Amino acid sequence: MKLRVAVIFGGRTGEHEVSLRSAQAILNAMDPARYEKLEYFIDRQGKWSPHPILPEPGAHPDIDVVFPVLHGTFGEDGTVQGLLELADLPYVGAGVLGSAVSMDKDMMKRVCRERDLPVVEYLSFHRGQADPQAICGRLPFPVFVKPANLGSSVGISKASNCVELEAALALAAQFDYKIIVERGIDGRELECSVLGNETPIASLPCEILPSRAFYDYEDKYLLDLARTVVPADLPPETTAEVRRLALECYRAVECEGMARVDFLLESATGKLYLNEINTIPGFTSISMYPKMWEHSGIGFSALIDRLIELALSRQERKKATRFAR
C-alpha cells in the first residue's frame, strides 16, 4: 500500500513564495509508486485549503505522515509542529522544542554557548529597549542587526556607524519584539547539511559567495548572482571541523530529521563561527540543503524517502512514552 503523505506549504510569511517552490520540488521528487501525495495549502492570510489539519488525534485517518514545507514563522518555529503533536501525526523535521530554539537566533546562541560552541559576540534587546548610543562602543563596527525570529534576511541590515545602527534597529523592531546586534565577521560563508534523529550525519559543506554587501533577500531569491561552491574549497581539517560543529549544534538545539547549519569563517583569524541553524531549509531545485546531499551521495528522491522514514521512526519511539499514569 502507498504511504499517504500530506505536504503543507505556503503560509503567512515573507517566505510564502519560497515555500511554494520547495513544496513543488518535493512533490515532484516523491515516487508516485510509493506515495500518495496530499496537498495542504496555506494562503497568505493563513487560511488552509482544502481544509485545515485538526488538532485531534484520529481526526485524519487518511494521512500517514506529514511533511511541513513552511519556512520561517508559523511553520518552522514549532507552531505547526505543536499542531501535529496534538493531532498525533508523524511529521518530517525537528519537534516543537528544536524548531523553536533553532528559529530564535538568541536562544540558539545561548544553547550553543552552553556547550562551548563558537558563536559570534552579540547583544539582544527588546523592542524599545535598544538605545543606539548605548550600543555604540559595546561592539566594534560593522555590526549586523537582526530580528531574532525570522529568515531569508528579512529585516536584517549591516550598520557601519551609529546613524546606520539607529535605522537598522528601527527596521528590525518592525519584524520582531526581540532584536539582536552581532559583531560583523569579515570572511567566508559556509553551510552544512545534517540528516538524522539519534545518529545524525553531516554532508560535505558548501560555500556561498554573495554578490552584494551580504547575503540579503535580493541576493537569495531575486538577483540570481550569488555563487555557490559544492563542495566548498577548504583544507581537509576545516571541512572536518565544519561537519563536527554542524553535528554539535544540531544536537545542542535537540534537532531531529534535518537542518542546514550555516557558518562564518573569519578571514583574519581563521576562526569558524556557527551563524544559524535552519530546521526547514529551502528545498527548491537549486537549494543548498538537497544539493549538498547530492554531492555527498544522497539524491533528492532518496533524501525525501529518508526524511519520511525518520519521521515514522520517531513516531514509533513515541509509542514507548506514556502520557498518563
Q: Footprint of ligand ADP on residues 213-242 (CB under 6 A)?
A: 214-215
Quick check: is 215 catalytic?
no
Quick check: is 260 catalytic?
yes
Half-sphere CA count of 9, side-chain side, radius 13 A: 23
Count of residues in contact with ligand ADP, rule CB under 6 A:
19
Note whether 104 binds ligand ADP by CB under 6 A: no
CA 226 to chain CA centroid, Å, is: 19
Residue 247 CB, nearest approach to ligand ADP (Å): 19
Tell me the C-alpha distance between 299 and 230, whole Å.
14
Quick check: is 262 catalytic?
yes
* Active-site hit among 93, 95, 282, 305: 282
Q: Footprint of ligand ADP on residues 126-185 (CB under 6 A)?
A: 144, 146, 150-153, 156, 182, 184-185
* Active-site hit among 75, 260, 296, 314: 260
C-alpha cell at 284: 527548491
Quick check: is 218 catalytic?
no
Note whether 189 binds ligand ADP by CB under 6 A: yes
DSSP category for residue 272 = E
By beta-carbon proximity to ligand ADP, the closer residue of 82 and 184 is: 184
Amino acid at 196: G
Among 55, 82, 118, 210, binds ligand ADP (CB under 6 A): 210
Tell me which residue has its CB nearest to ligand ADP. Answer: 215
DSSP string, 161-179: SHHHHHHHHHHHHHH-SEE
Residue 153 CB, nearest approach to ligand ADP (Å): 4
Residue 161 CB, nearest approach to ligand ADP (Å): 16
Residue 72 CB, nearest approach to ligand ADP (Å): 8
> Considering only 92-100, 133-141, 208-216, 228-236, which stretch makes contact with ligand ADP by CB under 6 A?
208-216
Quick check: is 221 catalytic?
yes
Listed in sequence order, the residues at least 6 apart from 42 whose beta carbon sits closer than 8 Å to its beta carbon are 8, 9, 10, 11, 12, 48, 70
3-state SS track over 56-103? CCCCCCCCCEEEEECCCCCCCCCHHHHHHHHCCCCECCCCHHHHHHHH
Q: Footprint of ligand ADP on residues 236-295 (CB under 6 A)?
A: 262, 264, 275-276
Q: Footprint of ligand ADP on residues 106-125 (CB under 6 A)?
A: 120
Residue 278 CB, nearest approach to ligand ADP (Å): 7
Residue pair 61/69 in contact (Cβ under 8 Å)? The answer is no
DSSP string, 193-233: EEEESSS-EE---EEEE-SSSS--HIIIIIS---EEESS--
Quick check: is 216 catalytic?
no
Amino acid at 27: L
Residue pair 144/158 in contact (Cβ under 8 Å)? The answer is yes
The β-bridge partners of 273 are 264
**Residues tagged active-site:** 15, 152, 221, 260, 262, 276, 278, 282
Enumerate binding residues for ligand ADP (CB under 6 A): 120, 144, 146, 150-153, 156, 182, 184-185, 189, 210, 214-215, 262, 264, 275-276
